[in-house]
Amino acid sequence: MLQELKEVIDHMGFDPEHIHIKYSGDWDPSGEGMVYYIKKRLRQLGVEGVDVKRIAVTPQQIDEYNLPLMPLDPEPGKKPDPNLHEFKRRYGDRATHLNAFFTKDHIAEFKKILIESVDMHWDKSIYDDMVEEYDGSEPEEPEELEVDELRDTRKNMYETITEAFAPGWYDDLIEDNEDEE
């Protein structure tokens, strides 16, 4: 994912200092260091200045929302996490999974955390300028494609999307579209 971010930055000319990564993940021996590893990988890729911040789960959120704790000791026969000893030294047994927020008791709190993390970067003046510029303007007509081009473009789009989702989810769609034509 970070390689793709670098490619977008390079291709589109974005300033990394205007990019904000809001990380949500488990608070456990491996998850605790994820922000550090994201920043480290970005530096390895030559990307400096991206704002990377953990927004959930934090030790404070475990206490504030009374999130359920997870066991830290390894299952018998399993190798312990190499970060376990240091994590326990620093935080005790206060660890939980991100999905502790995905319950009816905590989902509203998680939504609030997400919205607040985005709101801090919201610039209403940019939004207002865009509304003023585009409000009332008619969208441009898309270029027309021949039936074969349209079918090939649609199939290519499905295949591209499929790479990010479960394989084969689009098979029925392609067959349905081919039957229509």
Domain that holds residue 158: 147-180
Tell me, yes or no, whether 21 and 95 share the same domain.
yes
Task: Check pLDDT > 90 for residue 109.
Answer: yes
For residues 73 and 151, state if they share a domain.
no
Q: How far is 112 from 108, CA to CA, in rounded Å?
A: 6
Count of beta carbons in the 10 Å neighbourhood of residue 13? 7
CA–CA gap between residue 34 and residue 100 (Å, rounded):
18
Do 8 and 89 fall within a single domain? yes
Are 101 and 155 in a shared domain?
no
> Is residue 107 situated within a structural domain?
yes
Higher per-residue pLDDT: 140 or 78: 78
Same domain, 6 and 83: yes
Same domain, 105 and 166: no
Alpha-carbon span 109 to 84, nearest angstrom: 28
As for how many domains the chain has, the answer is 2
Do residues 70 and 14 both lie within one domain?
yes
Domain annotation covers residue 108: yes
In a domain, residue 154? The reply is yes
In which band, very low, low, confident or very high, does the pLDDT at 152 lie, cut at 50, 70 and 90?
A: confident
- CA distances from residue 23 to 55, 162, 173, 174 in whole angstroms, order as listed: 6, 25, 34, 36
In a domain, 86, yes or no: yes
Answer whether residue 95 shows pLDDT above 90: yes
Which of 6, 32, 143 shows the shortest CA–CA distance to 91?
32
Same domain, 21 and 77: yes
Per-residue pLDDT for 49 more than 80?
yes
